[in-house]
Structure 1
Amino acid sequence: MLDTHGRKYVQPIIKCFAAGFIKVGVSANQVTIMALILGLSVPLSIYLGYSLAGVALLWVSGLLDAVDGTIARSKGSNLFGALMDITFDRIVEIGIMLALAIKYPESNFLFFLLASSIIISMTIFLTVGTLSTKISEKSFYYQAGLAERTEGFIFFSGMILFPQYLNIIITIFILIIIFTAGQRMAEARKILK
């Protein structure tokens, strides 16, 4: 929801970063790889107990994740770059969940449910994006929903910073993702005829 409705407010900042990278000759795919490297440092920070650093790295990685798309759209879209972007996002999310599950094994069942709900929602999202003839500025049709990438960052930040409420945060996140999957399935029923 925040990605869809709030992007216009942060896009000028994202465009500034994109322009800076373009000026020094850094490609969208290179920025995607930078986002992955920073994103993979988040689970390490969690494991080592550097929660604030982990959250800061998560959000910088997320900024770069937005910047790479802006570069790609201004320089001409690269379908392999889109694949890398989506795959690397999931790798970072998996890393964060694994690090938290290792650190807080009493919550492993909820992490299993969280991973399952993400898989279901992303399956709907990617399938509709592939099958839809609707046009989007992204490489495929981007289905909006209550839980998008920014909401994920908010919930992951909460899990990292407030482990004493971990089970509550995970449960709420699962419910929001399931609701989003329902939203996307209902929209899919209308547009995929």
Structure 2
Amino acid sequence: MIDSKGRKFLDPAINKTADLLITFNLTANQVSWLAFIFGFLAAVLVYFNVLLLGVIFLWFSGFLDSVDGAIARKNDNASAWGTVLDITFDRIVEVVMVIALALNYPAANFAMILLLGSIILSMTVFLTVGSVSKRKGIKSFYYQAGFAERTEGFIFLTLMILFPSQLLIITLLFAAAITFTAGQRLMEAKRILNKI
């Protein structure tokens, strides 16, 4: 929801950063790798209880994840491989962050399993609709907006990291938000695909 509605406010910073990185001859895929490395390191930091730095790395990873697409569009070289890399790295970062939290707080592991299940469900719907839909957006596939997108995920992950005493309820709310989004996307898919 925030990604779809608020992107226009971040676009100037994203585009300026993309322009800067282009001057250093960085490609979109290289920036995707940087985003992945920062996201992975965020999970490592959280595991070792360096929480604030972990959160900073997580959000920087998310910012670079937007910059890579801007670089691809500016260079007019968006690719299917770049899309695969981007989406795969996003999921790995989410999973390793959940694993880091689960290892530190085993009492919340059942909620973590529900969270991972909801992510799998939502991404299955998201990717399937994207592959069968003839619609296209600024990305190289049809991007279904929804209630819980990447920014909402980062907000929930930040809350999970910084407020471990409330981890169980935050994780369950996160899983519920993602499951609701999966339902939204299924209903939208039915409307879109019945017209084809």
Q: TM-score, normalised by structure 1?
A: 0.99
Partner of 1:6: helix, strand, or coil?
helix
Does 1:108 pair with 2:109?
Answer: yes
Does 1:53 pair with 2:53?
Answer: yes
Partner of 2:141: helix, strand, or coil?
coil
Q: Partner of 2:90 in structure 1?
A: 89
Q: Partner of 1:181 in structure 2?
A: 182
Q: Partner of 1:29 in structure 2?
A: 29
Give deviations 1:118-166, integer Å, cap 9, x for gaps.
0000000001011101121101000000000000000000000000100
* 4+ residue runs over 3 A deviation: none
Q: What is the one-letter code of the residue matched to 1:130? A: S
Q: How does 1:3-152 map to 2 (within 5 A)?
A: 3-75=3-75, 76-152=77-153
Partner of 2:135: helix, strand, or coil?
coil
Backbone CA RMSD of aligned residues: 0.6
Q: Partner of 1:169 in structure 2?
A: 170
| Distance (Å, rounded) in 2 between the aligned partners of 1:134 and 1:30 | 28
Question: Which ranges of structure 1 fall in alignment gaps of 5 or more residues?
Answer: none
Could you tell me the percent identity over the aligned residues? Answer: 52
Question: Which ranges of structure 2 fall in alignment gaps of 5 or more residues?
Answer: none
Aligned length: 193
Q: TM-score, normalised by structure 2?
A: 0.97
| Distance (Å, rounded) in 1 between the aligned partners of 2:136 and 2:89 | 24
Residue 97 (structure 1) shift: 0.4
Give deviations 1:4-31, integer Å, cap 9, x for gaps.
0000000000000000011110000000
